[in-house]
């Protein structure tokens, strides 16, 4: 085998040698693998984080995490700053996960974590109004929070933050109608708002907008059935998946999908492993995970089940593992979802 000597490489004029930068991995004593790809991917990405535990009369501020490309149970990450507030929403860049709002009592708190680490959340800023049940989505720059319930009727306002900075949310525009218990999914360019609830109606409305701009949302199409479930949607940059429940009473296992760059109605994808409402969802470019949910209400029967599907296929979900807590209205985010590109 030929010997490759770094100290014998020079530039064209012979006046200087090479600069070795980035993460360098040696696979043997005689070989070297140079770093490649976008710098934010180096060192590994693909962690899914789940926040919150709505358990009826007793709630928790638990955050736990999984590695999306593997199978297995979640591991404890830390806690939110806002105590036992639940039914909040989440979004993320490749570095930060952001959690916003919540209920009992209503809060406008936004806090954040560094996804690659573990530990408790830190204060980020405030929403425009204290509310719960908002949908959320993001690309690598902006986090978007949509609709919600401020305890004075449903809310059609879309607001945004710049994820890499700290500060309060700003007004973006409006959804096509007021709603809470809605979900969001995105490509790097387009944000999609899915389903929701406006007392007493379960909504099948899908809206869209351009994340980098500001302005009101436009009609995209409809779900096959109405959809309730905060953070119950995820996907890659091409396809968005939703596992929202179609009833406030019964529990369903439907998963539907859309093509984000187009407009049109959702199509059937397959089924969750069990009938349940309000799971949290997150993804990498290949898999979507659906975590937790409730299989009955009055009283709530909550589960810790995590399912997964392969986004670009269709078919039923498969068991992934379990969360560290049983919970519904779970807020999911990741450092590798469709809004960050593939």
Q: Of the ranges 17-31, 47-61, 238-252, which one carries the lowest mean pLDDT score?
A: 17-31
Count up the domains in the chain and report the number. Answer: 1
CA distance 253 to 243: 7
The mean pLDDT of the chain is 88
Mean pLDDT value across residues 195-223: 96
Distances (CA, A) of 130 to 34, 149, 210, 286, 333: 48, 8, 25, 35, 21
In a domain, 5, yes or no: no
Q: Match 């959804």 to its residue by tokens.
A: 175
Residue 16 counted as domain residue: no
pLDDT of residue 44: 59
Q: What is the pLDDT of residue 249?
A: 83
Q: pTM, whole model, 2 decimals?
A: 0.86
Supply the pLDDT for residue 206: 98
Please give the pLDDT value at position 26: 42
Closest CA to 241 of 263, 258, 262: 258
Residues above pLDDT 70, as percent of the chain = 85
Short-list 263, 286, 275, CA closest to 229: 275
Give dist(CA 331, CA 53) in Å, integer: 9
* Per-residue confidence band for 11, with pLDDT thresholds at 50, 70 and 90: low
Lowest mean pLDDT among 6-10, 105-109, 160-164, 276-280: 6-10
CATH number of the domain within which 159 lies: 2.120.10.80
Query: Does some domain include residue 227?
Result: yes
Neighbours of 109 (CB within 10 A): 21
- pLDDT value at position 60? 80
Indicate if the pLDDT at residue 10 is higher than 60.
no
Mean pLDDT score, 21-37: 47
> Residue 67 belongs to what domain range?
47-340
Judge whether residue 2 has pLDDT over 70: no
Q: Is residue 179 part of a domain?
A: yes
Over residues 123-158, the pLDDT tens digits come to 999 999 999 999 999 999 999 999 999 977 778 999
Is 271 inside a domain boundary? Answer: yes
Instruction: For residues 79-100, give the mean pLDDT.
Output: 91
Which pLDDT band holds residue 99 (cuts at 50, 70, 90)? very high
Question: Residue 7 has what pLDDT?
Answer: 52
How would you class 147 by CB atoms within 10 Å of its CB: exposed for 0-12, middle for 13-18, buried for 19 or more? buried
Judge whether residue 102 has pLDDT over 60: yes
Q: How confident is the model at residue 290 (pLDDT cuts 50, 70, 90)?
A: very high
- pLDDT bracket for residue 268 (50, 70, 90): very high
Decide if 37 is inside a domain: no
């Amino acid at each position: 085998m030929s010997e490759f000597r770094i100290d014998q490489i020079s530039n064209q004029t012979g006046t200087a040698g090479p600069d070795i930068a980035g993460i360098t991995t040696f696979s043997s004593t005689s070989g070297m693998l140079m770093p490649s790809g976008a710098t934010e991917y180096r060192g590994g990405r693909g962690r899914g984080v789940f926040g919150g535990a709505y358990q009826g009369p007793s709630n928790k501020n638990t955050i736990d995490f999984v590695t999306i490309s593997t199978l297995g149970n979640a591991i404890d990450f830390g806690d939110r700053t806002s105590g036992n507030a639940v039914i909040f929403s989440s979004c993320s860049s490749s570095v930060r996960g952001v959690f916003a709002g919540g209920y009992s009592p209503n809060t406008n708190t936004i806090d954040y974590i560094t996804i690659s680490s573990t530990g408790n959340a830190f204060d980020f800023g405030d929403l425009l109004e204290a509310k719960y049940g908002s949908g959320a989505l993001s690309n690598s720059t902006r986090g978007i929070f949509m609709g919600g319930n401020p305890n004075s009727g449903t809310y059609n306002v879309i607001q945004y933050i710049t994820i890499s900075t700290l500060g309060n949310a700003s007004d973006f525009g409006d959804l096509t109608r007021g709603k809470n218990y809605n979900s969001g999914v995105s490509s790097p360019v387009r944000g999609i708002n899915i389903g929701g609830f406006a007392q007493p109606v379960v909504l099948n409305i899908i809206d869209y907008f351009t994340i980098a701009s500001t302005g009101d949302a436009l009609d995209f199409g409809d779900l096959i059935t109405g959809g309730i479930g905060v953070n119950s949607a995820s996907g890659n940059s091409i396809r968005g998946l939703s596992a929202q429940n179609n009833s406030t009473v019964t529990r369903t296992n439907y998963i539907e999908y859309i093509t984000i760059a187009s407009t049109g109605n959702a199509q059937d994808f397959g089924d969750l492993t069990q009938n349940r409402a309000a799971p949290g969802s997150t993804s990498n470019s290949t898999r979507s995970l659906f975590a937790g949910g409730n299989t009955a209400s009055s009283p709530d029967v909550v589960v810790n089940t995590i399912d997964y599907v392969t986004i670009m296929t269709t078919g039923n979900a498969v068991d992934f593992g379990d969360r560290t807590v049983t919970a519904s209205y779970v807020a999911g985010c990741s450092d590798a979802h469709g809004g960050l590109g593939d």
